[in-house]
């Protein structure tokens, strides 16, 4: 990889490690230390995700106007303001506003980082973006473990640790990214894509597929919200819970050779890959529904991670194949918005269900909802087949 890509990878790794001091422990902090219900905790996380969506859109806009270097610095500085505030004011309601500001700042950073790596290594193709993906998961493997260690001394220290990592990220960006020559025209944001879509069938197929994608993220988000507090309630320590995310990130990076034979066998059958992933995904929530020990949580997390490794990369790949020429950015923007929407709504729905019925019933309901993703995966391409059949009839002599 070019030196510039390595610098972006290092920056993303530091950024993810820093973020990992807070996001796995958010619900635990809100519920156990601020005394808020899981429903309220879900609303707080919804505000964080909503601010992230706004930040993402603004990040793309800023990249178009002022370039990647200044956009990244702006996002980091906004995040640092929020983090410094959290170091001193992490009680209620300051936590809500500062966490939303942190989501907004982080949202600005990500679009520019991805656009910069694509421009810095255009001949790398998917390898360029995969390097950022792996850096992100390497950070997930290490960050939560460090967060659990810090929180075991005092959970309030996680804000200091996150701030230190962001200061390091700022120094890396300010020094290493200054000389990047980034052409803003190479970045396509949702805001720029205003042309009318003429071929409706691909968009209908995308809508069907993403409805299932939304449900998978809605259910997946329980791992960082309702399931985190449930784990603590049954006697799992903060360090052990954080280790679950270390297992998740490490397995994503190190487990690629294990799934490669299956991926290769179904290389041209993305629907099959997606179905395999969702079925594995669903099985993990059946397992966690019976988990009463750390070992069972680990088992469920390993199963979940293998499902994730199949599903997450397939969705943007299918979206890209459905996109008309020149509309790839618009379609990928829809994918990102749907996943963020699932993460935004999931904590609220899960929190309300737990408050009303308890964790076990919540898992039964959400596992049943998740099973609908199997149907959307099976039938998402029906509009494409109908359109192909219609065109075939139209072209008959």
CATH number for the domain that contains residue 212: 1.20.1250.20
Helices 359-370 and 270-288, packing angle to 10 deg: 170
Say what percent of the chain tops pLDDT 70. 85
pLDDT at 195 over 60: no
Q: Residue 333 has what pLDDT?
A: 61
The reply to whether 119 and 156 lie within a common domain is yes
Reference 332, options 60, 143, 46, 14; nearest CA is 60
Integer angstrom CA distances of residue 125 from 1, 93, 118, 250, 316: 12, 45, 7, 24, 14
Confidence of residue 220 (pLDDT cuts 50, 70, 90): very high
Task: Please check whether residue 187 lies inside any domain of the structure.
Answer: no
The reply to whether 161 and 282 lie within a common domain is no
Q: Residue 184 has what pLDDT?
A: 47
Task: Please check whether residue 193 lies inside any domain of the structure.
Answer: no
The reply to whether 240 and 149 lie within a common domain is no
Task: Please check whether residue 29 lies inside any domain of the structure.
Answer: yes
Q: Residue 189 has what pLDDT?
A: 44
Q: Per the structure block, which two tokens stand in for 41? A: 């905790």
Task: Please check whether residue 195 lies inside any domain of the structure.
Answer: no
Task: Please check whether residue 188 lies inside any domain of the structure.
Answer: no
Question: Which positions ≥6 away from 328 have C-beta within 8 Å?
Answer: 188, 320
Choose between 130 and 274: higher pLDDT.
274
The reply to whether 111 and 34 lie within a common domain is yes
Domain-terminating residue out of 148, 179, 210? 179
The reply to whether 160 and 233 lie within a common domain is no
| Domain limits for position 150 | 1-179
Task: Please check whether residue 75 lies inside any domain of the structure.
Answer: yes
The reply to whether 159 and 280 lie within a common domain is no
Task: Please check whether residue 119 lies inside any domain of the structure.
Answer: yes
Quote the pTM value.
0.74
Q: Which of 48-62, 116-130, 379-393 has the lowest mean pLDDT?
A: 116-130
Residue-wise pLDDT tens digits, 309-343? 888 778 877 877 787 765 555 666 677 778 878 88
Question: Does an H or E element contain 396, and which?
Answer: none
Residue-wise pLDDT tens digits, 168-189? 999 988 888 877 655 444 444 4
The reply to whether 92 and 219 lie within a common domain is no
Task: Please check whether residue 128 lies inside any domain of the structure.
Answer: yes
The reply to whether 388 and 277 lie within a common domain is yes
The reply to whether 162 and 220 lie within a common domain is no
């Amino acid at each position: 990889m070019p030196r510039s890509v390595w610098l972006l990878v290092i920056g993303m790794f530091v950024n993810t490690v820093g973020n990992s001091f807070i996001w796995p422990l958010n619900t635990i902090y809100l519920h156990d230390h601020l005394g808020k219900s899981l429903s309220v905790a879900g609303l707080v996380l919804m505000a964080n995700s909503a601010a992230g969506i706004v930040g993402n859109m603004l990040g793309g806009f800023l990249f178009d106007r002022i370039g990647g270097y200044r956009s990244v610095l702006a996002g980091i500085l906004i995040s640092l303001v929020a983090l410094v505030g959290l170091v001193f004011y992490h009680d209620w309601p300051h936590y809500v506003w500062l966490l939303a500001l942190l989501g907004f700042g982080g949202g600005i950073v990500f679009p520019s980082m991805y656009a910069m790596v694509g421009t810095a290594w255009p001949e790398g193709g998917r390898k360029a973006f995969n390097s950022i993906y792996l850096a992100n998961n390497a950070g997930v493997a290490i960050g939560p473990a460090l967060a659990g260690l810090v929180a075991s001394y005092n959970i309030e220290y996680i804000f200091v640790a996150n701030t230190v990592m962001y200061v390091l990220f700022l120094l890396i960006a300010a020094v290493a990214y200054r000389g990047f020559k980034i052409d803003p025209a190479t970045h396509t944001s949702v805001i720029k894509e205003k042309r009318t879509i003429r071929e409706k069938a691909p968009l209908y197929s995308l809508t069907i597929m993403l409805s299932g994608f939304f449900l998978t993220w809605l259910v997946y988000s329980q791992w960082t919200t309702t399931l985190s507090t449930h784990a603590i309630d049954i006697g799992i320590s903060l360090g052990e819970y954080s280790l679950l995310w270390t297992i998740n990130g490490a397995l994503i990076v190190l487990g690629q050779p294990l799934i490669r034979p299956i991926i290769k066998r179904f290389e041209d059958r993305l629907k099959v890959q997606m179905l395999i992933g969702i079925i594995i995904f669903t099985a993990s929530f059946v397992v966690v529904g019976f988990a009463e020990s750390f070992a069972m949580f680990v088992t469920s997390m390993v199963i979940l991670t293998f499902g994730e490794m199949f599903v997450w990369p397939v969705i943007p790949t299918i979206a890209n194949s459905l996109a008309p020429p020149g509309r790839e950015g618009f379609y990928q923007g829809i994918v990102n918005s749907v996943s963020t929407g699932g993460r935004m709504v999931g904590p609220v729905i899960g929190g309300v269900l737990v408050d009303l019925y308890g964790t076990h019933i919540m898992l039964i309901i959400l596992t049943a909802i998740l099973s609908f993703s199997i149907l959307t995966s099976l039938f998402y391409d029906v509009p494409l087949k109908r359109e192909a059949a219609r065109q075939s009839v139209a072209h008959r002599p």
